Structure 1
Amino acid sequence: MQPMFDYSSFYRDLQNTSMSDQTEEWRLALEGRVDPKLHGDLPQWQSVIANLPDFPLNSVDLSADQVTLSTSISLDPQQKESITNNLMGLHPWRKGPFNFFGINIDTEWRSDWKWDRVKEHISDLTHRRVLDVGCGSGYHCWRMRGEGAKFVVGIDPMPKFVFQFNVFKHYLASEPVHVLPLKSEDLPVKLESFDTVFSMGVLYHRRSPMDHLEELKNALRPGGELVLETLVVDGDENTVLMPQGRYAQMRNVWFLPSAPALEIWLQRMGFKNIKTIDITQTSEDEQRPTDWMTFQSLAHFLDPKDSNLTIEGLPAPKRAIIMATK
């Protein structure tokens, strides 16, 4: 069977890390990961990559709010429309924003806002090996590279998001940045190699949050840094909300602890130097429908009479960022 994704550059870059002796474990994790029988849209997603324009890359900006590719070619309106229609084959675009040769991909999430909340507190990423769990389209992976990371691996089980990443990787093939269709539970056991591990927007989707924290810990080298972002609720160290049904219309939400409770979870799992650096209620300006994500978004999931409550009557989404070291 023809492989869905080409991992050769990932394996090449892996050889320059302390994980080179785990290459076979990575191969086994990736083997047959995307089953074409389960994803009827795969031919369409593949055609998006096949139909990308053959433009000379003039400049790249991985440090600004928009991850930007630029070309010296001036695009006329018809060319922009054709390229936009092609990229819409990967709708919905959820994490960004991106600028693709002058075309603004205005994603559902202003992921740059989250990055702004994180970047002033984390260790300098220069020369660090970084893992981004639940990375979506890889927006934050590119920003991590823009901050100087020498090797970035993003993982996300949704193949459409990997194709979105590959729209940009197509032009940045030599960059040591990779997005793989994996879950954190698929990672080789006891990696203990990444200097920094990010898990942003994943913990509340896990039936066993402690297992997720253990997976993140196992991926870190001793002394490595964890950046954990997740939904929380107000309360003391004993407060944990488990929705009876949906939460903000999401079916797969399990545990929403308070920030103090989450700090205890991390302590119990053996992390040190635990600190909550930010708690922010998600606004309708940060998560909203756009031309690039036309489905329902946050405003549709809140109580129309009280934006501090979800449509189910639960506390509205509030996200904490907590840092810790192994």
Structure 2
Amino acid sequence: MSKLEQTWFNDCYKSLIDSPLSHWLQTLPAQMNDWQRNAKHGEFDKWCRLLNKLPSTYPSFVDLSSSVSVGTENDVDEYTQKQIEGLLKQFMPWRKGPFHLYGIHIDTEWRSDWKWERVAPHIASLKDRNVLDVGCGSGYHMWRMLGEGASKVIGIDPTQLFLIQFHAIKQFISNTDAVADNIHFLPMGIEDMQPLKAFDTVFSMGVLYHRKDPMAFLQQLKDQLRKGGELILETLVVDGDENTVLMAGERYAQMRNVWFLPSTAALSVWLGRLGFENIRVVDINHTTLDEQRATPWMETQSLKDFLDPEDITRTIEGYPAPQRAVIVANKK
């Protein structure tokens, strides 16, 4: 394992000692060692070399409560700003954000801040809570969770470019803000985790519809929560009653890996059957072309290319256009 990766994971292991998550150390180090030997992306070593070229900086401020913003353009000289921007563009596409670094606006495909603004008012306080973000992407929401006062935030996602993007942002925050010691990214899926039954809060946003077995996935989320812990589930849904579930054909909005899109009523039944209580639908929202779009930081096709140009209420395959819901529930 390279020195860089070893540092990332060792910092995580140290944070687990003397915490309610300490029993994770029975399996996690061996899993990360196996990942390093067998699962690394072909570009990963190059990405790590580029990460090492990011300059050390000392921002005048870090804001994680109203955005993810680090410093101003006056904190670095023009050369350093251009160096940072050029290196960060080597990690494209940037899908979840946005991030603001020294006057550089990483305008990501998704306005993840809009999603957070819809979700945040409906969840229990994150202050002093241990939080798991399943399918965390580049970590945008993890930083916002930390900004809400979480004592520890751990994100899991097998996509290695997201791991690199997360650490690019973390490098700039770590120099001046000690809270960065409390946030960690692990390149794994929830199916690889032992049932910890210890997190106070588990987030899963934009993952359920990618799972062939949604019930098994929901059970895996439950297995990470302590008794009374809170699940925040955000996913694609369709209109209908408790018996309504759309199973997409070969593609949904051009995505091959979309399986089941339930109604919110059906999803509530699923959660109840699995042992959740206090189940409530707190938000339903149609994804707009302003919330998901191509940008200079994500230049390939985006939502407008996946909708019927004659009727944007339908996908190009003829299914209902993306509608997303947030459901909050507690483990009995």
When the two structures are superposed, what TM-score results if normalisation uses the length of structure 2?
0.93
SS of aligned partner of 2:293: coil
Q: Confirm whether residue 168 of structure 1 aligns to residue 169 of structure 2.
A: yes
Q: Once the two structures are superposed, what CA deviation does each residue of 1:31-80 show, in whole Å capped at 9, x if it has no partner?
A: 22255775221133112211111212321100123x01116854454443
Superposition RMSD in Å: 1.6
**Residue type at the aligned position of 1:132:** D
**Residue type at the aligned position of 2:184:** H
**Residue type at the aligned position of 1:92:** P
Residue in structure 1 matching 2:183, options 169, 173, 177: 177
Matches of 1:95 and 1:44 in 2, distance apart?
22
Q: Once the two structures are superposed, what CA deviation does each residue of 1:97-154 show, in whole Å capped at 9, x if it has no partner?
A: 1011221111000001110111101001100110000000110000000000000001
Q: Confirm whether residue 187 of structure 1 aligns to residue 158 of structure 2.
A: no
Q: Once the two structures are superposed, what CA deviation does each residue of 1:280-324 show, in whole Å capped at 9, x if it has no partner?
A: 010010000011100100000000000000011111000010010
Structure 2: segments with no counterpart, 5+ residues? none
More helix as a share of residues: 2
SS of aligned partner of 1:225: strand
Structure 1: segments with no counterpart, 5+ residues? none
Matches of 1:309 and 1:321 in 2, distance apart?
21
Structure 1 pair 77/25, CA: closer, same or farther in 2 (3 Å)?
A: same
Structure 1 pair 38/280, CA: closer, same or farther in 2 (3 Å)?
A: same
Q: How many residues align?
A: 324
**Residue type at the aligned position of 2:255:** M
- Cα deviation, residue 234, structure 1: 0.7
Q: Conserved in 2, the CA contact under 8 Å of 1:56 and 1:72?
A: no
Map of 1:135-214 to 2, 5 A cutoff?
Answer: 135-173=136-174, 174=178, 175=180, 176-188=182-194, 190-214=195-219
Residue in structure 1 matching 2:12, options 7, 10, 29: 10
Structure 1 pair 241/37, CA: closer, same or farther in 2 (3 Å)?
A: closer
Q: Conserved in 1, the CA contact under 8 Å of 2:133 and 2:204?
A: yes
Q: Once the two structures are superposed, what CA deviation does each residue of 1:133-191 show, in whole Å capped at 9, x if it has no partner?
A: 00001100000000000000011100110110001222344420011101111112x20
Q: Conserved in 1, the CA contact under 8 Å of 2:234 and 2:324?
A: yes
- Cα deviation, residue 27, structure 1: 1.5
When the two structures are superposed, what TM-score results if normalisation uses the length of structure 1?
0.95
- Cα deviation, residue 21, structure 1: 2.7
Q: Confirm whether residue 90 of structure 1 aligns to residue 91 of structure 2.
A: yes
Bigger mean CA offset, 143-152 vs 39-48 = 39-48
Q: Conserved in 1, the CA contact under 8 Å of 2:56 and 2:172?
A: no
Q: Conserved in 2, the CA contact under 8 Å of 1:58 and 1:72?
A: no
